[in-house]
A and B are shown apart, each in its own frame.
Chain A
Amino acid sequence: MQEFDYLRPRNVAELKENLSQPGARILAGGTDIIPQLRRGKSAPKILVDTSGIRSLRFIEDQGDRVVIGAMTTHQEIAESQLVSDLNPALRIAAESVGSTQTRCRGTLGGNIANASPAADTLPPLLVYEASVLIQNLSGEREVPLESLVIGPGQTALEEGEFIHSISFRPLTGRWGSHFIKVGKRKGMAISVVNAAATVVLDKKGSVSKARVALGAVGPVVIRCRETESSLCGKVPDRKVFEKAGEQAREEVRPITDIRSTEEYRLHAAGVIVARVLEAAAEQARGRMG
């Protein structure tokens, strides 16, 4: 196991101090970073353990936004009534992460900062156009999640910066949101492809707004913007969604790796985009305006 010095801040003020030292890196739930340290894939001089900071662990309805602290675990998100009511796609995604053991340790902040192309909470957050509150010793900034994750394992976080919380605006009117992942098996599987969608319907039942995000089909999780705009004004039915799935295939560049092939990913991406949109639209139809 890699060697490092270990610090355990008790609050955010101490975290800022600790993290400002050169070579310092956060240890949150440890489910990504401990295997990386074991394989020698990462060599921080100092590990700053955030697992003792209670104030980074919360899910809050702040009226116009839902805010989730970076240290909130997948299990807590999966069990949250608030998340289930306001972002069902995120609840399903959190519930699909690894095993119960993984979910009870792994955090939302860690899932984002680890920046895996297959990270399951990213598509549901992207379709809600989530933003991320980033802090360091000298202040804070808020950035769209979409601009934070810039490559496989790469974020726009600078030395000394950490994710404080993630927030998104709930949808209004007749809306629905859903998440689907395809893995090698039902439980305990990393996504071969994953997708989230939101659909908002107008009074006549046509699509007034749609958002689609796909993961594991490129270097980062992406929004399929052409697919989204092609849905505007359409009366939703299976044909429309199948077309959207075909459109989405044009927008992604999957690769072949240990988990799957380019061809399979491309095919599956189209299929799950159609299904995830259909499920979101179904939910929207059932909701009074």
Chain B
Amino acid sequence: MKEIKVEFTLNGEKIALQSEPNRTLLDVLRQDLGLTGAKDACGGEGECGACTVIINGRPVNSCLVFIGQVEGQQVTTIEGITPQEGYHPIQKAFVEAGAVQCGYCTPGAVLATKALLDHHPRPSDQQIRAGLSGNLCRCTGYNKMLDAVHLVVKGEQND
């Protein structure tokens, strides 16, 4: 198996790396780049959404993307939207609404929410439910995530 060279934009910065081609974007983020926000909760079946990242503005399961496939793409992880100081408004709203408990699903759910709101700034409940249907959570019961998205839309989260 020949190694491949991949160049892409990660959280706004151009990077180049070498990898075996049978590794996923999730493997590389976590093992090579130390970005452990994206997580694996279903063994890479595309079922849980804990590994969600944003590629070219769209939410994607990074466990179902081979590393070669991000060549030339724009990849955003949870680390990329979290400010140096404090938190992103979506992160604050999740905390405010009690939509974070163990936190394992949170990076993925926050990024799915970001991608949703970037496309639909004023989503209906139906659109929120559809937008988050790929993010499983063992703790919150989902309604709190719905509340969190409403908080972001209303801009009501505490600063």
| Best-buried of B2, B68, B71, B112 by chain A (most CB within 10 Å) | B68
Q: Enumerate the 4 nearest inter-chain pairs by beta-carbon distance, A residue then B residue, closest first.
A: A99-B134, A6-B21, A187-B133, A104-B58
Instruction: Please determine whether A98 and B46 come into contact, CB atoms closer than 8 angstroms.
Output: yes
List of A residues within 8 angstroms of B44 by Cβ: 34-35, 38
Q: Mark A187-205, 1 if CB is under 8 A from B, else 0.
A: 1100000000000000000
- Chain A residues whose C-beta falls within 8 Å of the C-beta of B49 in the assembled complex: 99, 101
- B97 CB, nearest partner CB in chain A, Å: 21
Is there contact, CB below 8 Å, between B59 and A102? no
Contact of B134 with A102 in the complex, beta carbons under 8 Å:
yes
User: Contacts of B23 on A, CB cut-off 8 Å?
Assistant: 1
A187 engages B129 (CB within 8 Å): yes
CB distance from A185 to the nearest CB of B (A): 9
Q: Assess whether B45 is interfacial by the CB under 8 Å rule.
A: yes
Task: Check A1 against B22 for contact (C-beta < 8 Å).
Answer: yes
Asked if B106 lies at the interface with its beta carbon under 8 angstroms from chain A, I say: no
Contact across chains for A101 and B22 when beta carbons are under 8 A apart: no
- In the bound complex, residues from chain B placing their C-beta under 8 Å from that of A104 are 55, 58-60
- Which B residues form the contact surface with A (CB < 8 A)? 1-2, 4, 20-24, 43-47, 49, 52, 55, 58-61, 63-66, 68-69, 71-72, 112, 115-116, 129-131, 133-135
- A4: Cβ under 8 A from any B Cβ: yes
Give chain B residues whose Cβ lies under 8 Å from the Cβ of A170: none
Q: Which B residues lie within 8 Å of A27 (CB)?
A: 66, 69
Q: Which residues of B contact A1 (CB under 8 A)?
A: 22-23
User: Judging by beta carbons under 8 Å apart, are B21 and A35 in contact?
Assistant: no
Of the candidates A47, A105, A187, A188, which one forms a contact with B60 in the assembled complex, judged by CB atoms under 8 Å apart? A105
- CB-based contact B65/A105 at 8 Å: yes
Contact (Cβ within 8 A) B68 A6: yes
In the bound complex, how far is the Cα of B46 from the Cα of A30, in angstroms?
10
**Pair B66/A30 contact, Cβ less than 8 Å:** yes
Instruction: Give the B-binding residues of A (Cβ under 8 A).
Output: 1-6, 8, 27, 29-31, 34-35, 37-38, 47, 49, 51-52, 75, 98-102, 104-105, 187-188
Whether the pair B59, A101 counts as a contact (CB closer than 8 A) is yes
Q: How many Å from the CB of A115 to the closest CB on chain B?
A: 18
Asked whether A101 lies within 8 Å of B112 as measured between CB atoms, the reply is yes
Contact of A2 among B22, B47, B65 (CB under 8 A): B22
Contact residue among A5, A35, A52, A187 (Cβ-Cβ distance under 8 Å from B64): A35
Are A105 and B61 in contact, with the CB atoms below 8 A? Answer: yes
Instruction: Give Cα distance in the complex from A2 to B133, angstroms.
Output: 29
Report the minimum CB–CB distance from A106 to chain B (whole Å): 9
B22 contacts which of A35, A37, A102 (Cβ < 8 Å)? A37
Chain A residue with the shortest CB-CB distance to B55: A104
Q: Are B134 and A188 within 8 A (Cβ)?
A: yes
Residues of A within 8 A of B55 (CB): 104
Residues of A within 8 A of B134 (CB): 98-102, 187-188
Residues of B within 8 A of A8 (CB): 68, 71
| Contacting residue for B1 out of A4, A52, A105, CB 8 A | A4
